[in-house]
Copies of this chain bind each other. A is one copy, B any other.
Amino acid sequence: MAVVVVGSVAFDAIRTRYGKVDKVLGGAATYFALAASYFTQVRIVAVVGEDFTSEHEAVFTRRAIDIEGIQHAGGKSFFWSGEYGDNLNEAKTILTHLNVFENFEPKLPRSYLDSEFVFLANIDPVLQANVRRQIGGARLVGGDTMNFWINGKRAELLETLKAVDVLLINDGETRVLAGEPNLPSAAQKVLAMGPKALVVKHGEYGATVFFQHGAFGIGRHPFRAPALPIEQVVDPTGAGDSFAGGFMGYVASQGTLDREVFKRAMFYGGVMGSFAVERFGPERLTQLTRDEIEARFAVFRELTHLE
């Protein structure tokens, strides 16, 4: 079943201990769409500028991603520049040029409206709510956010969260959103804001999903998936969005939403995140095979499996 993602398609300049790139395709929707494309049909809603060429378009179409929802505007695409120090979980932003993104008004093409799965990537919660309204009949809505919105547009974000089924954010964001330092307690507070499930991403330590009691008929016991211990994290950019893409893509590919599907989705999320960081930009996500994905899934499983 198809999954629609709305979010940024951008160009990034990135510096890490392994080198630097001056302009690679990036943005949350890009990483999400590529990661999810190995599991299910993906449809993307975004805005790009005149610097987005047919070459960039081909990155999506080669993965059979539907780009009818990519709007083309005059001017330049969203541009982000950042670097990572020893703490790979935190990028230092050097500059952000919103460019065409500043006036982004996401609009779902009519052909997207039968999509049963939606992912609201990290954009203004007002836009997220807008998209959510356009596709009222969705079966499962995933979402992301960040401290910029948690602190700057809290009321709007809380409104959006009421209509999000699965929120995927990191530890720090969970604590800030809940105003509570203990992570499991913070998770309960976030679940009380609306989401039926909260996936907390722990960077190199994996991720934990917490459930509202009885949500999806699967009780409230949390589930934790590991991350691979990776010696060369070449570029952490997009790891979280790739996790979300693997997670939502796998869920959308299954007919049911039971605990076992959620558990496997957590592992596939980790798998796609682990591929993303192996190269600068989304390069690694453009050339995978399903066999490679399954092989790494087996490694993840072995990493924590008790007989």
Contact = CB atoms under 8 A, between A and B. Distances in A.
Interface of A: 86-88, 181-185, 187-188, 202, 204-206, 208, 210, 221-226, 229-233, 260, 263-264, 267, 299, 301-307
Contact of A205 (B188, B202, B233): B202
Given A205-B202, A205-B205, A206-B205, A184 B229 contact: yes
Given A182-B231, A185-B231, A206-B205, A306 B303 contact: no
A306 B306 contact: no
B226 A304 contact: yes
A306 B264 contact: yes
Contacts of A222: 229, 303
Given A202-B205, A305-B305, A187 B223 contact: no
Contact of A305 (B87, B181, B205, B306): B306
A186 to B, nearest CB: 9
B303 A224 contact: yes
B182 A223 contact: no
Contacts of A230: 184
A197 to B, nearest CB: 14
Contacts of A205: 202, 205-206
Contact of A303 (B223, B260, B303): B223
Contact of A229 (B187, B303, B304, B307): B187
Contacts of A306: 260, 263-264, 267, 301, 305
Interface centre among A205, A206, A223, A301 (most CB of B within 10 A): A205
A92 to B, nearest CB: 15
B224 A304 contact: yes
B181 A86 contact: yes
Nearest to A185: B231
A187 B202 CA distance: 19
